[in-house]
Amino acid sequence: MKKVLKILILIFITNRFSARIIIPQVPDVVHPPIPEDANLDAAYNTLIEDQDPEVRPGLFQGDIALNNDVYNYWRIGLRWDVFPEKLWTNGTVPYVISPIYEPSDQVTIYKAIRTINFMTCIKFVPWDGVTKDYILIWPIKYPSGCWSFVGKFGGSQIVSLQPPDSNGPNCLGTEGRAIHELMHALGIFHEQSRWDRDKFVKIHHENIIPSFKSNFDKQSLENTTYHYEYDYDSIMHYGKYYFSKAKGKPTMTAKMPNVKRLGQRKAMSKGDCLKLNHLYGCFDNAKRRRKYYNICQFMGL
Ligand SMILES: [Zn+2]
């Protein structure tokens, strides 16, 4: 009874943010498609303590759940002519936020959603309970961590954001990690998987946990449709120590001088903002182009 009351209170709080919310049934355990060669248990124990919550084993590049078809064609932003079914129609993404989250965590998730809604022409809207495809933001227990599919998967699609616990803030310390995972759901891959990345970063293969070497793969030019400059500041870029065997051993370093950091999870960079708008056709007419281009310049990190 107490639990029911708690959920009702949470729904009430949730309703203060959105006019209407329908909570679907979600199993405790969800098994997204995981690459066949992923070794979940063995690898999990080898991760060092201060690893990023995004760096979870078993999922493609740490935090991406995807099937082999997508793997074969993956790119920085999904090409809609190759994967028309993965595009969110009219840039509209219905969403549900789990009532399991504490109100403060819900606020963090709302901040991420509002940021994307403001900075791009993409519109996250509360799910109406009817629309077939929508995202379900839920703290999945297995695999835990912060993860997402890339592009629209069809049906109710999980974006897993692990809430803070005694080990740390996990995926909801700031809205940055939520934005990162939502950007995957919109069809964006990691910045360092660009075909031209070797001009910009050096991969230290000897420091990578062996079973995660494929997380540092890149794509060929033919499969890439990317127009923006390499972006060290991207919210979609790996950090220097991701999937490192040991403390202090970088897996990736910058080749260009004066690069202070690799990746960040604070906010969308100017480049992130531009590429999302580009991917969703927000630059297609002159008025909108001016609006969102200016927003990216002013608000992008
Ligand atoms: Zn990611």
Q: Are 185 and 241 contacting, i.e. CB atoms less than 8 angstroms apart?
A: no
Structure tokens at 50: 């201060």
Question: Ligand 1 centre from 179 Cα, in Å?
Answer: 10
Phi, psi for 169 (deg, rounded to 5): -75, -10
- pTM assigned to the model: 0.79
Which residue do the tokens 């000897």 mark?
206
Beta bridge partners of residue 253, listed in sequence order: 202
Q: Are 96 and 134 contacting, i.e. CB atoms less than 8 angstroms apart?
A: yes
Question: Ligand 1 centre from 243 Cα, in Å?
Answer: 13
Which of helix, strand or coil describes residue 290? Answer: helix
pLDDT of res. 61: 61
Q: Are 77 and 226 contacting, i.e. CB atoms less than 8 angstroms apart?
A: yes
pLDDT of res. 220: 56
210 HSE (CA, 13 A, CB side): 1
Which residue do the tokens 């839920």 mark?
138
- Taking alpha carbons only, the member of 226, 231, 220, 222 closest to residue 195 is 220
Residues of the chain falling short of pLDDT 50: 10-20, 27-51, 57-58, 67-75, 223
Burial (CB count <10 Å: 0-12, 13-18, 19+), residue 69 = exposed
Strand pairing report for 147-149 and 156-160: antiparallel
- Taking alpha carbons only, the member of 109, 126, 118 closest to residue 163 is 109
pLDDT of res. 89: 93
Q: Are 181 and 157 contacting, i.e. CB atoms less than 8 angstroms apart?
A: no
pLDDT of res. 177: 92
Beta bridge partners of residue 244, listed in sequence order: 208
Known binding residues for Zn(2+): 180, 184, 190
Q: Catalytic pick from 181, 191, 206, 229? A: 181
Q: Are 202 and 245 contacting, i.e. CB atoms less than 8 angstroms apart?
A: no
**In angstroms, how far apart are the furthest CA atoms of the chain?**
60
Q: Are 285 and 258 contacting, i.e. CB atoms less than 8 angstroms apart?
A: no
Can 181 be counted among the known catalytic residues? yes
Beta bridge partners of residue 168, listed in sequence order: 165
pLDDT of res. 22: 53
Question: Ligand 1 centre from 287 Cα, in Å?
Answer: 32
CA-to-CA distance for 263 and 101, rounded, in angstroms?
27
Question: Ligand 1 centre from 128 Cα, in Å?
Answer: 28
How do residues 6-40 score in pLDDT, each as one tens digit? Answer: 555 544 444 444 444 555 555 444 444 443 443 33
Cα–Cα separations (whole angstroms), residue 131 to 95, 113, 148, 176, 295: 10, 19, 20, 27, 30
**Beta strands in 27-122, from DSSP E residues, in sequence order:** 64-65, 92-97
The neighbourhood of ligand 1, an ion, using CB within 5 A, equals 63
How do residues 192-228 score in pLDDT, each as one tens digit? Answer: 888 789 999 999 999 988 877 877 887 655 545 567 8
CA-to-CA distance for 3 and 8, rounded, in angstroms?
9
